[in-house]
Structure 1
Amino acid sequence: MQIKNISAAGLQKWISDHTDFQLIDTREPHEHEAYNIGGILFPLAEITKHLSEIEKEKPVVIYCRAGVRSQIAIQRLQEKYPFNNLYNLVGGTEAWKKTFGNI
């Protein structure tokens, strides 16, 4: 099963081009409060509880701190449900901070 990836620069391009996509944060609430790049918070442990809220008709970028939890979330979703529109933010918020600094 292939996981599609998007870089921080690629995500920024989607934002500047006004691409219609959904952004999901799989970190814990305290991490989301401390630093948020605009995603909806669905912690990894609860990701499958939010199935009805995950878009199926447009790209969905899933992120975490370093890109590991988001990959796990994508694997869980793709193994059990027919998602083919999920993208992992490579390097997560750490890559975003490195590329663009703090928000």
Structure 2
Amino acid sequence: MDITVQELKDRLDKGENVNLIDVREPSEYAEDNLGGELIPLGELPHRIDELEDRQNEEIIVQCRSGARSGRAQQYLEENGFTNVRNLVGGILAYRELERKA
């Protein structure tokens, strides 16, 4: 299941605690991030154990445009995660939403 940038922004603006995983590279994260936990897509298979205690919690995966996070979502679901949501449009869409506000 996906999540829209508007839905995520509303939840973050309310101060809601979300499991946000950023699957971009460290250099991208350093340039701009939404405060999520950085686990680059290439490292996800080696670091999945860091997420095991959240296997049945909602996890939102995010990247630049939604492509890498879509792959991360699929990988997590294939490994038993039950509530993984992909941020549609990624950080690009999120920042565009903020510019329009």
Judge same fold: TM > 0.5, yes or no.
Answer: yes
Kindly state the Cα deviation for residue 16 of structure 1 after the two structures are TM-superposed: 3.2
Q: What TM-score, normalized by structure 2, do the two folds share?
A: 0.87
Unaligned 5+ segments in structure 2 are none
Unaligned 5+ segments in structure 1 are none
Q: Is the 8 A contact 1:48 1:77 kept in 2?
A: no
Structure holding more helix per residue? 2
Q: Is the 8 A contact 2:56 2:81 kept in 1?
A: no
Q: What TM-score, normalized by structure 1, do the two folds share?
A: 0.85
Q: Is the 8 A contact 2:4 2:88 kept in 1?
A: yes
Q: Is the 8 A contact 1:65 1:94 kept in 2?
A: yes
Kindly state the Cα deviation for residue 41 of structure 1 after the two structures are TM-superposed: 0.6
User: Residue 27 of structure 1: which of 24, 28, 34 is its match?
Assistant: 24
Instruction: Choose 91-100 or 55-64, whichever is displaced more.
Output: 55-64
1: CA distance between counterparts of 2:45 and 2:98? 31
Partner of 2:77: 78
Structure 1 residue ranges, 4+ long, deviating more than 4 angstroms after superposition = none
Partner of 1:44: 41
Percent of residue pairs bearing the same amino acid type: 35
Kindly state the Cα deviation for residue 53 of structure 1 after the two structures are TM-superposed: 2.2
Q: Is the 8 A contact 1:25 1:40 kept in 2?
A: yes
Closer, same or farther in 2 for the Cα pair 1:25/1:77, shift >3 Å?
Answer: same
2: CA distance between counterparts of 1:29 and 1:20? 23
1: CA distance between counterparts of 2:13 and 2:95? 17
2: CA distance between counterparts of 1:72 and 1:10? 21
Kindly state the Cα deviation for residue 72 of structure 1 after the two structures are TM-superposed: 0.5
